[in-house]
Chain A
């Protein structure tokens, strides 16, 4: 196990180095002035330019420049945003939690809805309930998320007027930024309108979560169902049945535990898709997260922001990937041997 962890760690370091090289090379690949792309400053005077060139080592070779770039990344100097002239790291610290919050709720929904539905669908694979669940799952799997979001907005916000269409919370409420997670921040803030604020934030969260959760939930349903059916064929299930355990006991003690193992792995594999979908959801619901910020950045040709966004989002996805894989190996001794 320790050897396995060491190998993973080595891989992680390798991947991060490759990622930082990619992010660094973007400063050259993006159109425009390389110095501007790295610093994020648009009008640089001549003496400042010479000073910055020395500081960023743009006059020396690529290797030195890359090392200087790494030093800047680790010391927290990520450059400025073209659009707002604010330090990028500061902006990302405010934006990233909003995205994480949305993605976390969607993942939670997909667990608590997707896995039970998948198990139900696997109990009687040819039954009518199972067929309905599978049909819903394949429909949810195929629907374009932006269109689905628009349909729900048309129905719940404009048609019925039940839910708000944009933002994380009504503009009347002022919640201090502590953790960045809106619901946690409301609970931390000791205001007299806490209950109303919480309700308002929940109403804002409901529709984006529903939209974003659709894809992971259907993936969970399909995957849990397939995995259950697969496990149900194994000989240890037959042995357990032969020993006289009833269906529920076999399901709980043998089938479920083995069937859910690959599902853990699936979270890591689907996480990058989830982030893509979260970015689209954020644009439609004006959710102030990193996805909307990145897509705005491309409209504004805000190259330093895209570079920083690549670093942050990829680091996030790589970490989640690695974490789920390690968890999977921890729970599944069979996977360690390879």
Chain B
């Protein structure tokens, strides 16, 4: 008997797993189905489980101010991801090759930026931005997200660099190549998968943010998560549009999470956070 009799995929267990999954995901599926219903169908009793799906919620969202905030979210998340990678990847490489006290300072920084309640940063950031006029700008958001993604980049990228044998670089160095060249021509191409995974996680963290965007933006730079909440406050209880907005905000997250599910675990446990 090669496999433990305790750990067997019996039919009973598979049924239990499927049922648990269905129960666990039902609140999420409820939001999804509601986004394809007209307001009449939403208020109908009992709720129709089989109905003709409509895209009217999505279409009216597209023609509202929501599309602008969606673009704001895309812009701030992708720009901050690019910047965090630009700073963080070389730093991670340097730290990986130069183990020392830097690593402790780094874990401390991750601890602080990832574990501290965001309110601790929003008060100083808010006052500083008010002073230099960065409130309600994409630039302001990009700065915040970059700085919070930087520790994540360094944390995620170090193990990737650690796996590349130093002998490879030494050979090139002996041949007279400069460290910069070795880094860009030899090392970087070897960690492309790692960079891709890290980039997606950074994007998600910035995309998921609600608190910073709530406080640091008003109307011009408002991001999609804040816009969804605004429906509730200003446009009355248009459940269909709220559900469609929520579905649009979560769409990139679901797609990307599936793409990087192998790295998701280490990324999610790095300080174990979502702002």
A binds B: no
Q: Which positions in A face B, CB cutoff 8 Å?
A: none
